[in-house]
Amino acid sequence: QTGYAAAIPGGIHPDIAPVGTTMPYVVYTGVSRTAVGLLNGTTTAQTERVQFTVCSMSRSEAQVAAKWLGDRIRTSPGRQSVGTATIFQWNIEDETGSAEVLGDGSDEAVRTVDVDLIGTFKES
């Protein structure tokens, strides 16, 4: 996805953001994957749960970035091709917020918002 620079200047990264990344930023990671199949055992698609975590120094920045992310997910077509995958459906299942202390010894609080996405897709 492009066009996120205003809401998420630190970018969107898999698993871990690079050291020194500008906040707010988003990291995402796969939480679980389940095969969807026929009775004969043939896998027809995959259902995967992905968690997006928005990290920011303030609740308002985290909420703006999470809203931008959620709006893009909610307004995207239900069936579309992304790379080599055909996405059949996806939706936001949960959204939670919390405050955590940075692990850099500064004891600064950082706001996080987790957006849990679940979707069904098939790799080509």
Q: Is residue 55 part of a domain?
A: yes
Q: Is residue 7 part of a domain?
A: no
Q: Is residue 52 part of a domain?
A: yes
Q: Is residue 107 part of a domain?
A: yes
Residues 122/44, Cβ–Cβ less than 8 Å: yes
CA dist 109 and 75 (Å) reads: 32
Residue 106: per-residue pLDDT: 57
What does the pLDDT look like over 11-57, one tens digit per residue? Answer: 989 999 999 999 999 998 888 888 888 888 888 888 888 888 898 88
Looking at the structure of the chain, the number of domains it has is 1
Residue 77: per-residue pLDDT: 67
Q: Is residue 87 part of a domain?
A: yes
The domain in which residue 88 lies consists of 12-123
DSSP SS3 for 22 = coil
CATH number at residue 113: 3.30.2000.10
Q: Is residue 26 part of a domain?
A: yes
* Residue whose entry in the numeric block shows the structure tokens 């920045």: 61
Give the CA distances from residue 119 to residues 71, 87, 101, 103, 104, in Å, rounded to whole numbers and listed in that order. Answer: 16, 7, 31, 32, 34
> E-assigned strands of the chain?
12-14, 25-37, 43-56, 80-82, 85-101, 109-123
Q: Is residue 86 part of a domain?
A: yes
CA dist 31 and 117 (Å) reads: 10
What does the pLDDT look like over 65-123, one tens digit per residue? Answer: 888 888 888 887 677 776 777 877 777 887 777 766 555 555 566 777 888 888 888 87
